[in-house]
Amino acid sequence: MILKNLFKRKPILYSLPFLISYPQFSNYAKTQQKHQNQEEQLKNLWDGDDEFQKEWYSKGNQYWQTCESNYDGVMGGYGHLNDLDIKFSRYFLQQLQEKFPQLSQNFNRALDCGAGIGRVTKELLMNVFQKVDLLEQCDKYIFEAKNQLKQYPNVEDFYQMGLQEFQFQKQYDCIWIQWVSNQIKDDDYVRFLQKCSNSLSQDGFIIVKENISEEGFILDSQDYSITRSDSMYKQLFSKANLDIILEKKQPEFPDELFDVKMYALKRISENKNSIQQ
């Protein structure tokens, strides 16, 4: 899975529950019944076109090959928002530790998924965890990440492949999935989350940080990504047998951008106490 079109502007038709900008799916959009729920719409989309299935990941990867290997490149021209992003992510981790002290007892190893050039690892994860691995599909980003992080001994392994292809080789205390969930199809995403869950340490957790639509989902024909609603993500988490133990909305981002939410996830039944804001 490639990195992410990190910051996206809201489309003009942002309030519509179903917006597809792919030309090849214009007829599909027109023929959808208004009462059809979001899950049915996406299932029909994923199952409906063989060519689309083949192109979804390859076209997305091709898009990111054209972007610069710097903060502006991986953040959709909003590199100046890096500090706000990292500041709130750090705060979110602190809140998680305060509410669930047992989680911080073993901050040994983290996996940065959709790691890109290593921005989140360098700015946050390697300062919190003893060891960090990176997972990123785009070869130019992996190259830059290795170059940026080579002097840091606690940054260990780099895996160049998509999330949907990744097979876990280690156990992690934290699996960080930021601005890359929008690049993966529903079924693949649920399978990946299940593999994440099975690869967590006893007190391990998953962090998801992602753009959120007001309702429904929005497909982007430029980078082959899907912006899902909060309720759609929660359905996918539930399918993966994951509980939300903390969720918060990223503050201070420009109004023209999608909302961004953070979720802390653990296996269902491990902790039934959910803290929301």
Render pLDDT for 57-79 as a digit per residue (tens, 0 to 9): 999 999 999 999 999 999 989 99
The per-residue b/e assignment along 110-149, b for 16 or more CB within 10 angstroms, e otherwise, is bbbbbbbbbbbbbbbbbebbebbbbbbbbebbbebbeebb
Range of the domain at 210: 18-276
Q: Residue 1: inside a domain, yes or no?
A: no
Q: What is the pLDDT of residues 240-269, one digit of tens each?
A: 999 999 999 999 999 999 999 999 999 987
Look at residue 4 and tell me if it is in a domain: no
Annotated binding residues, written as ranges, equal 114, 119, 163-164, 178
pLDDT in tens, the chain (277 residues): 333 345 565 543 332 333 333 433 433 343 343 335 666 777 777 776 667 776 889 999 999 999 999 999 999 899 999 999 999 999 999 999 999 998 867 799 999 999 999 999 999 999 999 999 999 999 999 999 999 999 999 999 999 999 999 999 999 999 999 999 999 999 999 999 999 999 999 999 999 999 999 998 998 888 889 999 999 999 999 999 999 999 999 999 999 999 999 999 999 875 444 444 4
The answer to the question of residue 8 being in a domain is no
Which pair of structure tokens corresponds to residue 173? Answer: 């205390």
Report yes or no on 3 lying in a domain.
no
Task: Determine, yes or no, domain membership for 112.
Answer: yes
Structural domain tally of the chain?
1
Which CATH number fits the domain that encloses residue 263? 3.40.50.150
Do the domain assignments include residue 217? yes
pLDDT at 106: 79
Binding residues for S-adenosyl-L-methionine: 114, 119, 163-164, 178
